[in-house]
Amino acid sequence: MYVRKGEGLGQLSQAITPLRDDQAKMQTILTDIRAQLQRRFTRPDDPRLLDRRRTLRNLLNSVPPSQAKKLHDRLRIRRRDDELSRLFHYRLATATRNELLGILLNLVRTHEEQLLVAIVNALTNLSPRQLEPYLIDALLVRDVQFLLEVGLNIAQNAFPPKLAEQLFETEGASAYYGAIGELLRLRADDAQKKDAAFRDRVEQERQRRQQQRPPPPRPTPRREGAKVPF
């Protein structure tokens, strides 16, 4: 496959922040969440319970969208070997837990939308010359499963570095890479129908790859008189 480096791809949406910044912020948020969950109350009508619920709501709303799925998966199920998960389930009422998990789910959807918008913008900002090798790759892969590799290739080599990092670190990244490969395949199919010159270049590349493909191994001739192993 082609490997090309990005060349002046323009500015990435401000919604995509460096992953290291998100992770650093997340450590502070987790510390604050744990401190709130460790607070003890002896009466169910203690007014400080409302204060804790409000504080937790604000903390979860401040979670970076890129980190929301990881925290949601961590808190969704009670885990005895995870102090944060254990406190979340033992110290909070079911209604409060459901509300806080709902906040995280909304952030997960926000992150997915941000990534999809950033992916479309990154593809749009590529020049036809930059994009064409990946379009040809998407057409010539031997199996649609290899479209994931095409998507990974363009993301790592042609997308802005911040977006490439976000995609690589996102849980379920293979689904995004596969979707990028499918999108490239659709755009390449459309280009073939409209652009005869592009169609010719695709055919030239197909023939070049076929010529470079090693021939199948020739069977070893059996010596006369040799025993057949069956």
Q: Name the residue ranges covered by the structural domains of the chain.
A: 19-110, 126-212
pTM score: 0.69
Higher pLDDT, 214 or 77: 77
Tokens of 182: 């499918």
What is the amino acid identity at position 122? A
Confidence of residue 22 (pLDDT cuts 50, 70, 90): confident
Q: Taking a C-beta distance cutoff of 8 angstroms, is the pair 79, 88 a contact?
A: no
Q: Give percent above pLDDT 90 in the chain.
A: 66
Each residue's pLDDT tens digit, 185-194: 999 999 999 9
In sequence order, which residues have a C-beta less than 8 Å from that of residue 152 and are 6 or more positions away? 177
Tokens of 212: 């470079």
Give which of 68, 96, 97 is closest to 85, Cα–Cα.
97
Q: What is the pLDDT of residue 42?
A: 84
User: 153-178 burial by CB neighbour count: b if 16+ within 10 A, else e?
Assistant: bbbbbbbbebbbbbbeebeebeebbb
- Judge whether residue 17 has pLDDT over 90: no
Quote the longest CA-to-CA distance of the chain: 96
Percentages (nearest 5) of helix, strand, coil residues in the chain:
70, 0, 30
Q: Write the DSSP assignment of 61-100 as a string of letters.
A: HTS-HHHHHHHHHHHHS--TT-HHHHHHHHHS-HHHHHHH
Distances (CA, A) of 100 to 60, 62, 63: 7, 12, 11
Distance CA 25, CA 137 (A): 39
Tokens of 62: 């401040």
